Every structure is written in structure tokens, then in C-alpha cells.
Amino acid sequence: MAISFSLEGKRAMVTGANTGIGQGIALALGEAGAEVVCTGRSRSDETVEMITEAGGRAVSEIVDLSDPMAGKAFIEAYDKPINILVNNAGVIRRADAVDFSEEDWDGVMDVNIKAVFFTCQAFGKKVLARGGTGKIVNIASMLSFQGGIRVSSYTASKSAVAGITKTLANEWAARGINVNAIAPGYITTGNTAALRADEDRSAEILGRIPAGRWGSAADMGGTAVFLSSPAADYIHGAILNVDGGWLAR
């Protein structure tokens, strides 16, 4: 049997597709043949242009997950079948644990886990109702496995993403839906700008990464394509580290 990584004929929704990891994943899915619904709190016109220039198809939609039910509402109202869901959108807040505010806690948890669960729920309901198959790729983190420093709510939320990925896989694996996650390492995105600006901290991080470099958004794309493709049909509940070897160190 030939192994296929093609996403031809599929429609993928990527949250937070306007920049960073989401943009890299959206482009890779488009290049693999999927029509990509690029969502974000601002328009994803640049991402759509990148995909169309590469010969793919994409549209931009505003979905602001600071309202954690916005993804659910969007999927429920969308009039075309979505076969692949990538829950990428996320936020981070940094403060010492003794100073962490309730506002920052709730803001991170709303976007990073509440929105993820209810967007998955809406996607799963539609796939099951039409008797089809679907692929969910959640974006976890190295902090799904580690504690981190000064990122209490982010660590809690990304640990929860790993847990939700596993429990949804348990419920839906036999019903045609694969649920897996990618745990990115240190990637050059807006979320890591403060770390990269700190020369000492950046040097410490690079010193631990066996690959010897920060990751790029493009490094996530191939993994997302794989987990969304028929080649990954027997993978359920996996949290795949894409971290340059960080967790192996």
C-alpha cells in the first residue's frame, strides 16, 4: 500500500494563522493540497497570499479566541465541511508566581485550553454527524512536560492541551477522528521575543538544544502535514516533540 502525505480534497482550519507557527503550518498544509481556512484575531491576508502564490487555495476569516467560544461558533456556522483542525492560537503571560494576576491567569487559560476544547468539540460533532473522518492537531509545548519559569498559566494550559488531546483520542479514535498534538521547542515567534532579546538567556537556551539553533515556524509545517495525512491514520493521542532535541538532552 502506497503511503500518502497528500491533503488533496481536504479543507483545513488553522487558528492563529496570521503569524508565527500558525502561518508556517497553514502554508505547509496548503502546499500539501488542502484548502486552508486561515483564522485569527486579525486578518490572515499575508498567509493567504503566501499559499496562493505557492499554487494553493486559502481564505481568511476573523475568529478572535479571546472569546473562548468563538471557534465553536465559527465551526457551527461554517457551511462547508472541515476535515482538518489545527488549534494553534495561543497567548503567554510572564510573572513570578507570587505576583501572577487572576486576569492574566484567566486570559491565558481561555485562549490556550478552553477555546481549544470547545473548538475541538464543535469540529468533532460535525465530523461524527456526517459520518466522515477528521484530523485534529493541537499545539502543545515543551511545557506540557516541564514546569518552566514565570509562566504559571501557560504551563498549566499546555499541560491541559496534552491531556485533552489524549482524552479526545480515547473517545474518537474508533469513530474516525485522529487527535494528536505537536510540542514545539524554542521557536522564533512573538511569544519568544523577550527570551531572544535576553542575550544570557538566549545563550543558555541554545546551549541546551542539540540542533544548535532556534526552530522556525516552517519546522512545524511538515509535522502538521504528516499528522493530518493518511500516513498518520494509526496515530492517536500522541504528543510529538519538534524541539531540536531539547527534551532529549
- Give the count of alpha carbons within 13 A of 238, CB side only: 16
Residues 6 or more apart from 215 whose CB is under 8 A from it?
184, 185, 186, 187, 188, 242, 243, 244
Whether residue 6 is contained in a domain is answered as: no
Whether residue 1 is contained in a domain is answered as: no
Cα–Cα dist 63/51, whole Å: 19
Per-residue confidence (pLDDT) for residue 144, from 0 to 100: 98
The catalytically annotated residue of 78, 154, 186, 234 is 154
Whether residue 96 is contained in a domain is answered as: yes
Whether residue 37 is contained in a domain is answered as: yes
Whether residue 5 is contained in a domain is answered as: no
Per-residue confidence (pLDDT) for residue 195, from 0 to 100: 82
User: DSSP characters for the chain?
Assistant: -------TT-EEEETTTTSHHHHHHHHHHHHTT-EEEEEESS--HHHHHHHHHTT-EEEEEE--TTSTTHHHHHHHH--S---EEEE---------GGG--HHHHHHHHIIIIIHHHHHHHHHHHHHHHHT--EEEEEE--GGGTS--SS-HHHHHHHHHHHHHHHHHHHHHGGGTEEEEEEEE-SBSSGGGHHHHH-HHHHHHHHHH-TTSS-B-THHHHHHHHHHHSGGGTT--S-EEEESTTGGG-
Per-residue confidence (pLDDT) for residue 193, from 0 to 100: 83
Whether residue 4 is contained in a domain is answered as: no
pTM: 0.96
Active site residue 154: yes
Domain that holds residue 148: 11-248
Per-residue confidence (pLDDT) for residue 1, from 0 to 100: 57
* Residue ranges in the chain modelled with pLDDT below 70: 1
* CATH code of 65's domain: 3.40.50.720
Whether residue 243 is contained in a domain is answered as: yes
106: cell is: 484567566
Strands 239-242 and 35-40: unpaired
Per-residue confidence (pLDDT) for residue 220, from 0 to 100: 96
Burial 1-14 (b: 16+ CB within 10 A, else e): eeeeeebeebbbbb
How many structural domains does the chain have?
1
Whether residue 2 is contained in a domain is answered as: no
